[in-house]
Structure formats: structure tokens, C-alpha cells
Structure 1
Amino acid sequence: MTSTRVSGHVNAPRVAVYRALVDADAIAAWRVPDGMRSEVHEFDAREGGAFRISLHYDSPDAVGKSSAHTDTYHGHFVELVPNERVVEAIEFESDDPAVGGVMTMTTTLRESGDGTDVLIEHDGIPDAVNPADNETGTRMALAALAAWVESRS
């Protein structure tokens, strides 16, 4: 199991960025890598609240972790500190034990000038998930988060 850390800046206040972390419609719009689309099945944004999300590959040649062209994951919110931090426990739905195990994703928000610095840390990344791929997908999602929030601020 490995870890990754990805940081970026959003030109919007922390309150706007935090809202995008705990709103199902926002998550469906921005937390998806390029070449995929998101489907939010369940999303209860409170400590202990559950979520379940599928990421569907656009390319018919892509191989999913959960099914032929889909990565589905579920989990719960471990900690929600308004406008500061969101901690999620995440597990891929797969028959492959190398993809199994609980991964922790911590998103930390810090004021920076007129905007917000965002740090996304993944700990306990399953062995079958390439850390470089995780980092690339997280960078894509962070760029999409910035674009989504900035277009609404």
C-alpha cells in the first residue's frame, strides 16, 4: 500500500471549495478524471455518512476495477471540519483482492491570499492501483474542482 499527495490552488474562498466537497451534484461534476463520467448512487455528507460512486470509462477499451468499464467505490465520511478538512474512508468494489482494502483520502483547505490552497492525500492505496495513475487522476480532479468552483464564485 502506498500514498500520494497532490496540491493546488483554487481562486475562491474556502467556504465555496468546502461546499463542493460535500455536495453530491458538485462531486458528480468535478471528481472524475478525464475520459470518464461520474454517477453518484448514495451521498450522505455527515460524519459516518455513507457514499457510493461509479466512474464509467468513455473508451470501450478501458478496463475497470469493478466491472468491464467501471470503477465503483463506496465508503464513509470519517471527519468533516467545515471549511477546513474532509476525511473519507474509501474502498473499491472488486473481486480482485489486490484492489481491496480501505484507502483514506484527506482533503485539507487553507486560506491563501484571495483563494484556497487544497491538499489531497491518499493513504493506503491498494497494491493494484498505480500511485502515478492515482496522482494523475487526482490532479485532473483538482483542476476540475478549481474550474467548477471558480465558475460559480
Structure 2
Amino acid sequence: MSENKVSLHRVIKASPEKVYRAFTETLAIASWLPPYGFLCTVHNMDVRVGGTFKMSFHNFTTGNGHSFGGEYLELKPNEFIKYTDKFDDPNLPGVMTTSVWLQKTSVGTELRVLQENIPAVIPAEMCYLGWQESLEKLIKLVEPEIPDA
């Protein structure tokens, strides 16, 4: 980890198609993206190149929150997602870029995440910890195979 980027890697027992859906469907991303102790409201999410999104994370303990939004820069279904993130808070300046790679493996999907240009006031280890928690929640969403009743 450097001071302004984090990189994560996981192998997930789910198909790239299912993992991609978790990044691109409103209800899914709201359930796993916020770290533990936070809730997420997705205000809008237009998943297409040039499309935008807006979300808010709410701290369940304090009631405080922060909102952010961005633009989808690249989308290759079931393989790659690249988007920007910008906090609404002027104390968190700059535009972050997040890239997500999905690679089919014999056991599911290899997932790599790279988030760059994290505002200097956010410690990289805090961002890394948040992503670790989010990915734990992602795995709990996509790995179960639950049939319809």
C-alpha cells in the first residue's frame, strides 16, 4: 500500500457474472459496499460508460454520514469495471479512480481491486480495512447458491 492507493485480491467461489452483478445492481451494491457499521443509500446508479452514480454511507452508531458520486469510465461485462469517486465534502478533495478486474478460475472468480488517488486526509490503512470488510460482505452475498422455493 502506498499513501494514496490500495490494492486488494480475493478468489471468490462464484461466477464472474454473479460478482459483476453485485457491482452493477443497486440493491446488491447497497448491501455489501458499506463497511461494517454503515448503511448505504443509492440515490442513482446509471451503469453505462459515461453514466453516473450517487450514494451515501450512514454511520449506524453516530447517525452521521457522507455522500459521494462518480462516473463509469469503462465497463466490460463480467470482466472489468472502472469508475471515479468524488466525495461531496470539500474537506475530502480530489477524484479517486477504482478499477475492478474479474477473471474466471476453476473455482469461481479471481477479483482484483485497485483504488487510486485516495484523499491524503484518509489513511490508506483505513481505506484498506474498509475494503476488506466490504469484500467479506460481497463474498457472503455471492457465494451462496440459494434456489427459489
Partner SS state of residue 21, structure 1: helix
Corresponding residue of 1:75: 70
Of 95, 117, 127 in structure 2, the residue corresponding to residue 134 of structure 1 is 127
Measure the CA separation in 1 of the matches of 2:5 and 2:67. Answer: 20
Q: How far has the Cα of 1:151 moved from its partner?
A: 2.4
Q: 5+ residue gaps in structure 2?
A: none
The answer to whether the 8 A contact 1:55-1:72 is kept is yes
Q: How far has the Cα of 1:95 moved from its partner?
A: 2.6
Q: Does residue 147 of structure 2 align to residue 145 of structure 1?
A: no
Cα-to-partner distance string for 1:87-126 (whole Å, 9 max, x where unaligned):
0111011031xx1100001111111222101111101011
Of 88, 98, 104 in structure 2, the residue corresponding to residue 105 of structure 1 is 98
What is the identity, as a one-letter code, of the residue corresponding to 2:123? N
What is the identity, as a one-letter code, of the residue corresponding to 2:5? S
Identity of aligned residues (%): 28
For 1:3-152, list aligned pairs within 5 A.
3-60=5-62, 69-96=64-91, 99-152=92-145
Q: How many residues align?
A: 144
CA RMSD after TM alignment? 1.3
Measure the CA separation in 2 of the matches of 1:78 and 1:129. Answer: 24
Query: How high is the TM-score relative to the length of structure 1?
Result: 0.90
Corresponding residue of 1:63: none
Query: How high is the TM-score relative to the length of structure 2?
Result: 0.92
The answer to whether the 8 A contact 1:9-1:146 is kept is no
